[in-house]
Amino acid sequence: MTKGPVRLDVAVGYAAPRAGVPAAVSFRKWVAAALAGRIREADLAIRIVDIEEGRALNHHYRGKDYATNVLSFPAELPEGLPKHVKLPLLGDLVLCAPVVAREANEQNKPLNAHYAHLTVHGCLHLLGLDHQDPREADAMEQLERDILASLGLPDPYLGN
């Protein structure tokens, strides 16, 4: 069993057809692996969407008029909380099922492995990691490789 945070609550919502989309238990396993050793408690939501919703969200929040594979929305905790109050709310991930399926097919990757990679990638964004410059990108990609390898999954960057 994958070790993860001491307390982990992952809510998975399906707003797109379920065909080919992993079960909630798989998403929970991938989140636990991504967060293991990095955070003690976490609440997050994952929403699986169709092209229309994925495009609308990407347009509204990023100004891009197309559906993307994964969007990460870190939690915005209210200001002024006493220092001793720790809320485990990490944020939300949105995965666009048709985009993920298309990319997996185009890249000749197993669909579940691509979902796992994007889930891990999104979780690392929720933790504040980014890939805006080459050094950050290299560090984030290596961390993704390590996490996926711990799950027995292949390097998602081979062949890219």
Write the pLDDT tens digit of every residue in 47-100.
Answer: 999 999 999 999 999 999 999 999 999 988 777 767 766 667 899 999 999 999
Please, what is the average pLDDT of the chain? 91
Candidates 149, 12, 29, 92; CA nearest to 158 is 149
Give residue-wise pLDDT tens across range 106-129: 999 999 999 999 999 999 999 999
* pLDDT value for 89: 82
Domains of the chain plus CATH, in order, are 7-77+86-150 (3.40.390.30)
Report how far residue 6's alpha carbon sits from residue 36's, in angstroms, rounded to the nearest whole number: 9
Beta-carbon contacts of 14 under 8 Å, excluding residues fewer than 6 positions away, are 21, 48
Report how far residue 6's alpha carbon sits from residue 39's, in angstroms, rounded to the nearest whole number: 8
Report how far residue 16's alpha carbon sits from residue 159's, in angstroms, rounded to the nearest whole number: 29
**pLDDT, mean of residues 138-145:** 95
Place of tokens 């636990």: 32
What's the predicted TM-score (pTM) here?
0.91
Percent of the chain exceeding pLDDT 70 equals: 92
Beta-carbon contacts of 46 under 8 Å, excluding residues fewer than 6 positions away, are 10, 11, 12, 13, 27, 31, 92, 93, 94, 95, 119
Report how far residue 124's alpha carbon sits from residue 115's, in angstroms, rounded to the nearest whole number: 14
Candidates 32, 33, 14; CA nearest to 22 is 14
Candidates 122, 32, 28; CA nearest to 73 is 122
